[in-house]
Chains A and B, each alone.
Chain A
Amino acid sequence: MAGQDMPSFCVYGFRFRLHTNVNDVQYLMTGLYRDFLTSNLNGSEAEAIIQREREDQFSWRLGEKGGTASTLPHALWNLEAALCETIIRSQRRSIAIHAAIIQVEDSIAILAGRSQAGKTTLSLALARRGLRVAGDDVALVEPETLNVLPIPRCFHVDDRGAALLEAGGPPLPTAWRRFRFIVPNDFGGPVGSSGHPRWLIFMRGPRAGHPMIAAVSQAEMTARLLSECGQGPLSDSETIAVICRLASGASCFALTPGPLGETADAITTLLTQSKRAAG
């Protein structure tokens, strides 16, 4: 293991160094956290480790968490999930919210929804329509500034989702076929500076014959977003105050998804046209 040459990252204050004996891991993890590379280490950084033990066994470890997997993708997913959880737990003030973050030029849309609501597939469909997806799962909200900080994660796409996405469009990046590991940076340039969300969209089910986008009140959106906030460092009252301020400055919508292509088109139109209308 060439520890000296391994990349180090600082993701919203959480520092870690990658250790691996698999070249592909270095390439893939650097792609995931490309915007967080750092050389400014202080010796207290965590070690994120993936090792090939033998042909069909990979071990992974981050602090006290670790395990083995029979395939490289599973080891990667486990380490990446542990990193995400640790980044969230390391926050002293920021609130974690279960949501995808879409960038339209210098504006941000938060796409929230329960697990299995379809955020990942819709995010990828939006990325393939030219919108910048900064993250598809979790973002941090800074209480003082209301800046939204997307935590980059690999997109968990199954074969069915991939088939839907590839229908009528180019194939997914090679990293999906080889490693089931595609990340926001596979779809565009670096994420711009964080900012306040301009649109808040909550995905609600069940899926309909056609997508429906309806304006909702700021109170309803706040309640929906609260249901997607994890246990954070702030008190309940402080968290509510932050989410209320977030909703106060945004246009709020509920999305009932329909077929993927139609839904992605509707969201793209919503975001780009209202952006254009505002100049």
Chain B
Amino acid sequence: MSSGGELSGSDLFVRHPEVESNLLPDQTVLLFQKDTSLAVPVNAEGAAIWKMCDGAHTIDRMVDNLTEIYDQERNRIGQDVRVFLGELVRLGLVDRLPTLR
């Protein structure tokens, strides 16, 4: 596993097994890291990204999917996705899978 470095479009992520996600009716999610008792609220856009951290969606694919949902420029969405995923990695909520380069 690696957590540092620039994120590339082919990077994959998996949700940390010790993190519980609680979906709320307004489509926001509360993530709870059981190891550290850290509770992190995530907005609806973040919740959509979180859902795609399944080891099968690359960043590029996440951005493709989100571009279909949200009326924003692809570059902007890509930037937001990278920032958000970087934060999830930093907080230990997702793991970045090693990639063959």
Hey, which bits of chain A sit against chain B, CB under 8 A?
217-220, 222-223, 226-227, 236-237, 240-241, 244, 247-248
Contact = CB atoms under 8 A, between A and B. Distances in A.
Contact of B32 (A218, A227, A240): A240
Question: Main SS of the interface on chain A?
Answer: helix
B8 interface: no
B26 to A, nearest CB: 5
Interface stretch (B35-43, B53-61, B82-90): B35-43
A219 to B, nearest CB: 4
Given A226-B39, A236-B37, A240-B39, A219 B24 contact: yes
B49 interface: no
Given A219-B30, A220-B28, A240 B37 contact: no
A199 B20 CA distance: 26
Given A218-B25, A219-B24, A240-B20, 11 more contacts: A217-B26, A217-B41, A217-B44, A218-B26, A219-B28, A219-B42, A219-B43, A222-B22, A222-B39, A223-B41, A226-B39
B51 interface: no
B39 A248 contact: no
A236 B32 contact: yes
A218 B39 contact: no
B74 interface: no
Contact of B41 (A220, A236, A248): A220
A247 B28 CA distance: 11
A244 B29 CA distance: 10
Contacts of B20: 237, 240
A237 B22 CA distance: 10
Most chain B CB inside 10 Å of its own CB: which residue of A219, A223, A247, A248: A219
A217 B24 CA distance: 9
Contact of A244 (B24, B34, B37, B40): B24
A196 B97 CA distance: 43
Contacts of B41: 217, 219-220, 222-223
Nearest to A244: B22
A218 B28 CA distance: 7
A219 B29 contact: yes
Contacts of A226: 39
Nearest to B29: A219
Of A218, A227, A236, A244, the most chain B CB neighbours within 10 A belong to A218
14 contacts: A217-B43, A218-B26, A219-B22, A219-B30, A219-B41, A219-B43, A222-B39, A223-B41, A226-B39, A236-B32, A240-B30, A241-B22, A247-B24, A248-B25
B43 to A, nearest CB: 6
Contacts of A248: 24-25
Contacts of A244: 22, 24, 30
Contacts of A219: 22, 24, 26, 28-30, 41-43
A238 to B, nearest CB: 11
Contacts of A240: 20, 22, 30, 32, 39
A236 B30 CA distance: 13
